[in-house]
Amino acid sequence: MTIIFSKKCEYGLQACLYLAANNKGEVYPSDEIAKQLKIPKEFVSKILQSLTASGLISSKKGKHGGFSLAKDSKKIKLIDIVTAIDGLDLFEHCVLGFPNCSPNTPCPVHYKWGELRTKAYQMLTEETLDVFKDKTLTKINNL
C-alpha cells in the first residue's frame, strides 16, 4: 500500500536499488529490471527515462543496451530519487491537503505528521543506495 510516495516513486527507488545491487559496470535492459522486480515493463521504461533525464541513471541504446547508475551508489542518496520523481511537496505541504496548515493553524495531524516527516526526510537525505544494496538482493531473490 502506498502511503508516502507515488507508485512511480516506489518503483523508481526499487529500480535504482536493483541497479546498485547489481552494478558492476554492466547495463541492464528495462525488461530484465521489470521481470526481476515484478513491475510492468512499460512503467519501468518511463521511470528509468525520467531518472536518466535527472542524471541519476545512464542509458545505452542498441542491441546490448540498457540502464546503469550514472554515478557510484555511494553518491546517490534516496532523496535524490524521490526528488527526481515525486518532488519534495510531501515534505513541504500538509499531509491532509489543508490549505494554510501551519503551526499557527494546524490540521488534526500536523504535529504527529511533522515528527514522522522530519524523520523520513532525515533518513532519505542521509542514506545512499550503497547502504541497502545487499538487502535489496535478498529481497529480490524472495519475490
What global pTM score does this model have? 0.87
Residue 136 parent element (H or E) = helix 129-141
pLDDT of residue 1: 41
CA 122 from chain centre, in angstroms, equals 15
The tens digit of pLDDT for each residue in 10-59 reads 999 999 999 999 866 789 999 999 999 999 988 999 999 999 999 999 99
Q: Which range of residues forms the domain containing residue 85?
A: 7-141
pLDDT score recorded for residue 135: 79
Question: What are the distances in angstroms from CA 125 to CA 1, 100, 119?
Answer: 23, 26, 10
**Which of 70, 69, 55, 78 minimizes the C-alpha distance to 129?**
78
For residue 54, being part of any structural domain is answered with yes
**In Å, what is the CA distance from 104 to each residue of 98, 100, 110?**
13, 9, 10
pLDDT band of residue 120 (cuts 50, 70, 90) is: very high
Looking at the domain assignment, is residue 64 inside a domain? yes
Instruction: Indicate whether 42 belongs to any domain.
Output: yes
Q: Is the residue at 106 inside a domain?
A: yes
Q: Does residue 2 have a pLDDT over 70?
A: no
Total of domains in the chain: 1
Residue 22 falls within a domain, yes or no?
yes
Does 1 reside within a domain?
A: no
Q: Which CATH number goes with the domain that contains 59?
A: 1.10.10.10
Q: Using 50, 70 and 90 to split pLDDT, how confident is the model at 123?
A: very high
At 91, is the pLDDT very low, low, confident or very high (cuts 50, 70, 90)? confident
Q: What is the pLDDT of residues 60-85, one digit of tens each?
A: 988 888 999 999 999 999 999 999 99
Distance CA 117, CA 137 (A): 28
